[in-house]
Amino acid sequence: MKNDSSYQKIWSTVSSIPIGKVSSYGQIADLSGLPGRARLVGKALGYSPEDRQVPWYRVLRSDGKIAFPAGSEQALKQTGLLQEEGVVVLNNRVKLTEFQWQPDLAELLFKLEY
């Protein structure tokens, strides 16, 4: 894989999503200083190291839908993990108005130090 530093930032940002909250590929890209690279976020999560506690399942599409096809093994796994922490998933989708992560000032500053 190429461009490890971008992946590092992405993993780091995703790791700061609190339990019970979700984010989107675009939001993670923006917060990671990589505007316009939502697709890279998906790629990075695909490579996310098992040993690093990266909550990849808290990242959804901009409309709240799980990125994997409904009913697929991956989608079912993601749904289960989300529900375990209290996030409601219906028809392969989460209501963002209710569960989307709103990073606070401290978190934004934390990201900028990097």
Partner DNA sequence: ACCTTGACATTGG
Partner DNA sequence: GCCAATGCCAAGG
Cβ proximity of 6 and 34 under 8 Å: yes
Our CB check for DNA shows the closer of 24 and 32 to be 24
Q: How far is the CB of 111 from DNA (least distance, A)?
A: 18
Within a 10 A sphere around the Cβ of 57, how many other Cβ atoms? 21
Distance between first and last Cα of the chain: 21
Q: By CB under 7 A, is residue 21 in contact with DNA? A: no
* 3-state DSSP assignment of residue 60: strand
Our CB check for DNA shows the closer of 36 and 109 to be 36
Short-list 16, 90, 97, CA closest to 59:
16
Positions of E strands within 6-70: 23-24, 59-60
| 22-51 footprint of DNA as x/- string (CB under 7 A) | --xxxx--------xxxxxxxx-xx-x---
Query: Could you tell me which stretch among 55-63, 82-90, 103-111 binds DNA (CB under 7 A)?
Result: 55-63
Cβ proximity of 98 and 32 under 8 Å: no
Q: By CB under 7 A, is residue 15 in contact with DNA? A: no
Q: By CB under 7 A, is residue 76 in contact with DNA? A: no
Q: Which residues bind DNA (CB under 7 A)?
A: 1-3, 6-7, 24-27, 36-43, 45-46, 48, 56-57, 59, 61-63, 67-68, 91
